């Protein structure tokens, strides 16, 4: 059974450096900042194994076009899992 987390829960007040350390420990990408579209895909794949077509993720995306393609992969996974969070690809 899932536990509901309120807005004042400690989970909402975690330092960025702690989140980044957790990402590096979990995925081993050795990041200095957590803004990579490919990392978002990796995290979703770790939560929902084999739902993200990782062969479609461009880990070397430097252009806006490449990053948008990665976010489209992520949005497709959200849709498959019936997650209503919409990622604004244009942003």
Per-residue pLDDT of 46-86, as tens digits, reads: 889 999 999 999 988 888 898 899 999 999 999 999 988 66
Task: Give the CATH class of 14-80.
Answer: mainly alpha
How far apart are alpha carbons 70 and 59 in whole angstroms? 9
Report the pLDDT value the prediction gives residue 72, as an integer from 0 to 100: 92
How far apart are alpha carbons 10 and 20 in whole angstroms? 17
Report the pLDDT value the prediction gives residue 39, as an integer from 0 to 100: 85
User: 22, 31 in Cβ contact below 8 A?
Assistant: no
Is this model's pTM higher than 0.85 or not? no
User: 81, 51 in Cβ contact below 8 A?
Assistant: yes
Chain-centroid distance of CA 31 in Å reads: 14
Per residue in 14-52, pLDDT tens?
787 887 788 778 777 666 665 678 888 988 898 899 999
């Amino acid at each position: 059974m899932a536990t509901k987390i309120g807005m004042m829960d400690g989970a909402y007040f975690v330092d960025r450096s702690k989140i980044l350390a957790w990402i590096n420990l979990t995925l081993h990408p050795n990041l200095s900042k957590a803004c990579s579209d490919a990392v978002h895909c990796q995290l979703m794949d770790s939560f929902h194994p084999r739902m993200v077509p990782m062969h479609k993720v461009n880990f070397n995306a430097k252009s806006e076009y490449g990053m948008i393609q990665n976010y489209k992969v992520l949005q497709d996974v959200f849709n498959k899992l019936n997650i209503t969070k919409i990622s604004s690809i244009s942003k």
